[in-house]
Amino acid sequence: MDFQIKASDLEQAHERIKPHIHRTPILTSESINAIAGCELYFKCENFQKIGAFKARGGLNAVMCLPEDERQKGVVTHSSGNHAQAVSLAAKMCGIPAYIVMPETAPEVKKKAVKGYGAQITLCKPTIEARQENAHRIQQETGAFLVSPYNDNNVIAGQGTAAIELLEDTDHLDAMITPVGGGGLLAGTALAAHYYSPETKVFAGEPDGAKDTYLSMKAGEMVTVPNPSTIADGLLASMGDKNFAIIRELVEDVFVVNDEEIIAAMRLIWERMKIIIEPSCAVPMAALLKNKEVFAGQKVGVILSGGNVDLGKLPF
């Protein structure tokens, strides 16, 4: 199988963004290993700039723009981590960023985006309103629209977390990530494919937004109308560029419900003393629900992010 994103694309993405991101630590926990019945290596992207792996893809996508295109700026619509990633990347490149956010986005996220000097346009909290506004701004300014996941440069950027995880561990039997739009999962699957083909790649997905699970079963892209889950970073439907990679390279997608996500989130908070957001707890919940698949194995877990509203915790 031949993929549009080559090993060299992943390597160049890594070289490009490396000076601007953190090489996040890999933590382990004996007590969680005992509970899970396997050996877990947690790649802490919750400690990444902007508090999530999305800094990688956003930065790579913006830095890949040719100099003349770049000057017109970048635009995206996002209520969350991608908005911050694009804002940070634009700030680093000294170009304007236009961010469309739903009026309902948490104040703390609006503040963070403003903190990077981006211009915010608020809109109704529907996917149509978000897309319309982003499109209008794109027309008016000539800014480049940075997709949160359905973009080869974004996918290559997200794959750099798995490159580091593979470099900093000895022979992993498996890696597992959450899946929403599929950027992190596709990037991770490509990294394993090129650098450690014996490492199987899995994903965890919330029951209330299980379009990847259903798509894998159906062998074609399926969408879930009105997705709903506490894992608010995983509401997006998978992109077609992502699916082309995921369907070929991902071993399995495990579905978990909100209760299981909250329990896994609490376990990691209590045992590891680190803060992860609900979306980030999804792979841990999947591991605990499918212990027999991973029994005795060495498993890399990508902890995707730690941006939670401390005033609204689920426990």
Contact residues: a copy of itself, CB under 8 A: 25, 27, 46-47, 51, 108, 266, 269-270, 272-276, 306, 310-311, 313, 315
- Identity of the residue, 52 or 201, whose beta carbon is nearer to a copy of itself in the bound complex: 52
- Identity of the residue, 151 or 277, whose beta carbon is nearer to a copy of itself in the bound complex: 277
Contacts of 305 by beta carbon, 8 Å cutoff, 6+ apart: 45, 46, 48, 51, 52, 53, 54, 81, 233, 276, 277, 279, 280
Torsion of CA 98, 275, 204, 241, to 10 degrees: 20
- Identity of the residue, 7 or 313, whose beta carbon is nearer to a copy of itself in the bound complex: 313
Least separation in angstroms between CB 249 and a copy of itself: 29
- Identity of the residue, 222 or 274, whose beta carbon is nearer to a copy of itself in the bound complex: 274
Least separation in angstroms between CB 201 and a copy of itself: 25
Contacts of 19 by beta carbon, 8 Å cutoff, 6+ apart: none
Least separation in angstroms between CB 91 and a copy of itself: 13
CA angle 297, 300, 304 (to 5 degrees): 150
Least separation in angstroms between CB 315 and a copy of itself: 6
- Identity of the residue, 248 or 270, whose beta carbon is nearer to a copy of itself in the bound complex: 270
Least separation in angstroms between CB 177 and a copy of itself: 18
Is residue 295 within 8 Å of residue 35, measured between CB atoms? no
- Identity of the residue, 112 or 234, whose beta carbon is nearer to a copy of itself in the bound complex: 112
Joined together, the tokens standing for residue 306 give: 């730690």
The length of the chain, given as a count of residues: 315
Look at residues 69, 121, 104, 111 and name the one whose alpha carbon lies nearest to residue 90. 69
- Identity of the residue, 43 or 193, whose beta carbon is nearer to a copy of itself in the bound complex: 43
Look at residues 99, 6, 19, 112 and name the one whose alpha carbon lies nearest to residue 59. 19
Judge residue 223's burial from the number of C-beta atoms within 10 Å of its C-beta, 0-12 exposed, 13-18 middle, 19 or more buried: exposed
Joined together, the tokens standing for residue 22 give: 């953190």
Look at residues 163, 278, 254, 263 and name the one whose alpha carbon lies nearest to residue 203. 254
Least separation in angstroms between CB 46 and a copy of itself: 5
Paired strand residues for 119: 98
Least separation in angstroms between CB 165 and a copy of itself: 16
- Identity of the residue, 225 or 311, whose beta carbon is nearer to a copy of itself in the bound complex: 311
Contacts of 214 by beta carbon, 8 Å cutoff, 6+ apart: 222, 224
Paired strand residues for 176: 202, 301
Joined together, the tokens standing for residue 303 give: 């902890």
> What is the C-alpha to C-alpha distance for residues 244 and 261, in angstroms, rounded to an integer?
27
25: DSSP letter: -
> What is the C-alpha to C-alpha distance for residues 186 and 148, in angstroms, rounded to an integer?
13
Least separation in angstroms between CB 269 and a copy of itself: 6
- Identity of the residue, 246 or 282, whose beta carbon is nearer to a copy of itself in the bound complex: 282
Least separation in angstroms between CB 154 and a copy of itself: 23
